[in-house]
Amino acid sequence: GQQLNQSPQSMFIQEGEDVSMNCTSSSIFNTWLWYKQDPGEGPVLLIALYKAGELTSNGRLTAQFGTTRKDSFLNISASIPSDVGIYFCAGQLVGSGGSNYKLTFGKGTLLTVNP
């Protein structure tokens, strides 16, 4: 099935550094979601974006819904060791009928934070 282009694939950073990752798509979405997955756990929703151009923050996390509706980015400021995990973006086209509920996932960004 269709996949999003998520980059980078992995990142190794020092504690305290800022992090940025993004997703791009060849087709538009009207919802962008960012999830974090810890080893052995299910994905946890971090931020949901529902409107083109929307910029939303959740603590040290900030995400934006691109104005073309084909991209989104996630920033993490002042990283800490517990930020370690895999971050997935997911696009969704709600209200389209048929595949109304499907999430199209990126391949994930593996984040490692060195204390």
Partner 1 sequence: DAMVIQNPRYQVTQFGKPVTLSCSQTLNHNVMYWYQQKSSQAPKLLFHYYDKDFNNEADTPDNFQSRRPNTSFCFLDIRSPGLGDAAMYLCATSRGGLAGAFTDTQYFGPGTRLTVL
Beta strands 61-65 and 10-14, pairing class = unpaired
* Cα–Cα distance measured from residue 63 to residue 39, given in angstroms and rounded to the nearest whole number: 23
For the segment 25-44, give every residue that binds partner 1 (CB under 8 A).
30-31, 33, 35, 40-44
* Cα–Cα distance measured from residue 93 to residue 90, given in angstroms and rounded to the nearest whole number: 10
Contact status: 50 vs partner 1 (CB under 8 A): yes
Q: Residue 100 has what DSSP assignment?
A: T
> What's the number of CA atoms in the CB half-sphere (13 Å) around residue 19?
30
Q: Which of 106, 109, 111, 113 binds partner 1 (CB under 8 A)?
A: 106
Of residues 48 and 84, the one with the C-beta less far from partner 1: 48
CB neighbours of 28 closer than 8 A, spacing ≥ 6? 68, 69, 70, 93
For the segment 65-104, give every residue that binds partner 1 (CB under 8 A).
88, 92, 94-95, 100-103
Contact status: 12 vs partner 1 (CB under 8 A): no
Residue 34 CB, nearest distance to partner 1 (Å)? 11
Binding site for partner 1 (CB under 8 A): 3, 30-31, 33, 35, 40-45, 48, 50, 88, 92, 94-95, 100-103, 105-108
